Amino acid sequence: MKEDVIILGKGGHAKTIIDMIEEQGIYNIVGVTDYEVSEAEFAGYPVLGTDDVLPGYFKKGVKNAVIGVGGFRNNDLRIKLFNRAKKVGFNLPVIVHHSAIVSKTSKIGEGTVIKRGAIVDTDVTIGKNNVLELGSTVGHESKVGDHVLISANSIVSAYDIIEDDVFLAVSSTIISGLKVCSGTLIGAGSVVVKDIEQPGTYFGLPAKLITK
């Protein structure tokens, strides 16, 4: 018997999560919540209400939730939803697309979503509530903290340390053996060639601080 799950949030990212769950066939999607209710249905599933309904559904026996929010410029909303779901008591399962390559020696934290074509190499540690987007790569023996978004075609090379709440925009690259501190945004197409020790937005080749 399939376990029930609720998707937290609507939008494009939520649609891909729903697609992945349907392909896996492991969970029964009960419905979707959002910060406001503007429609009765989303992607073929009922909109259950705002996030305020979550405790009620947990009491009814729905024990699983998946964050259906990606990120545009930061991870703030995804962090808020994760913390709220955990406070209620939900389990946040790891969702991995069947086309992703994830080493059996890697460790993946709860609530992490690994999308189509992503690669997680050997002895990688990935924390909680992360998103590895289409075609992204995390190289061997790298460590990724919590609430990190690695956008499409971005590369975390070998032996890197990516701390919590880092946002790597599309096609960005972290060269091997580097550390990126918490609260950092790496702009699209940028290449990080040295440690980043100050939070802020970095852009360019090589990536340089443009705003704190």
Active-site residue list: 140
Q: What is d(CA 174, CA 178) in angstroms, rounded to the nearest whole number?
A: 7
Q: DSSP string covering 44-91, please?
A: TEEEEEEGGGHHHHHHTT--EEEE----SS-SHHHHHHHHHHHHHT-B
What is the token pair recorded at 211?
Answer: 């705003």
Q: What is d(CA 102, CA 132) in angstroms, rounded to the nearest whole number?
A: 11
Burial of 174 (0-12, 13-18, 19+ CB in 10 A): buried
* Residue 43 CA from chain centroid, whole number: 20
* Residue 97 CA from chain centroid, whole number: 13
**DSSP label at residue 123:** T
The runs of H, that is alpha helices, within the chain are 12-24, 54-59, 76-88
Burial of 175 (0-12, 13-18, 19+ CB in 10 A): middle
